[in-house]
Amino acid sequence: MTVPFAKFISLLLNPLSLAIFAPFVVVYRTTGDLDATIQWTIYTLFFIFLVGCFVLVGVKKRKFSDIDVSKREQRPIVFFVAFVFSGVYLLTLFWLDAPIMLSVLASSIIVGIVLAYLINKKIKASMHVAVVTAFTIPVVLSFRGLYVLLLLLIPLIIWARLVTKRHTAPEVITGGMVGALLSVVIYFGVKMFIDY
C-alpha cells in the first residue's frame, strides 16, 4: 500500500502537473481577473502539453526509461526541449502583452531548467522536489495564513520519491535546495522591483 500511494503522490505532484497551477496562481494573485487568469492558464497549458507529449513519445519510442525520465543520461534532451518551449512561451508572452508576473514565472522556469541541466551533469537532482519547493515557497510567502500548510507538500514529495526508489537522499536534498534557492531569490528580487 505504501509504494502505490507514493507513486500516486509522485504523479500528482509531477513538475508538469504543478506547472498547470502556477500560472493560475500568479495571474490571479496579480490581476484579480478570473477570466484573464483562465485564458492565460489555458494558453500556458498548450506549452505544457507540448513538453508532456515529447516525453510520452520518447517513452513510447523507448528513448526515455519512463515518464519521469529517471536515467540521468536521458535528461539533457528533455531539458533542451523544455528550454526551447519555455523560451518560445516567454517570447509570445511579451508579444501578447501578458501580465508581467507571468513573464517572470516563465523566466524563472528557464533559469530553473538551466540550473537543472548543469546540476544533472553531477547528480540526478529530483525535479519533483525542486518544482514542489519552488512552487510552494512563493505561494506561502505571498498568501501566508493557512497556505503555510502547503509546505507539507515538500516532505511528502521527498518521502514519495525515496519510497519509490526514484531518488536517493542526496538527490532529493539537492532538488529541494535548488527549488528553495531559486524561488527565494526570484521572489525577493521581484519584490524589490515590482509592486504586486
Per residue in 52-70, pLDDT (tens digit) is: 999 999 999 999 999 999 8
Name the residue type at position 108.
S
pLDDT digits (tens, 9 = 90+) for 18-36: 888 888 988 998 889 999 9
- Encode pLDDT of 137-148 as tens digits: 988 988 888 889
Residue for grid cell 515518464: 67
pLDDT of residue 151: 94
Distances (CA, A) of 63 to 19, 49, 120, 182, 191: 24, 19, 18, 30, 42
pLDDT at residue 104 tops 80: yes
* Global pTM value: 0.89
Inter-residue contact 41 to 20 (CB < 8 Å)? yes
Q: Which three cell numbers stand for residue 164?
A: 519509490
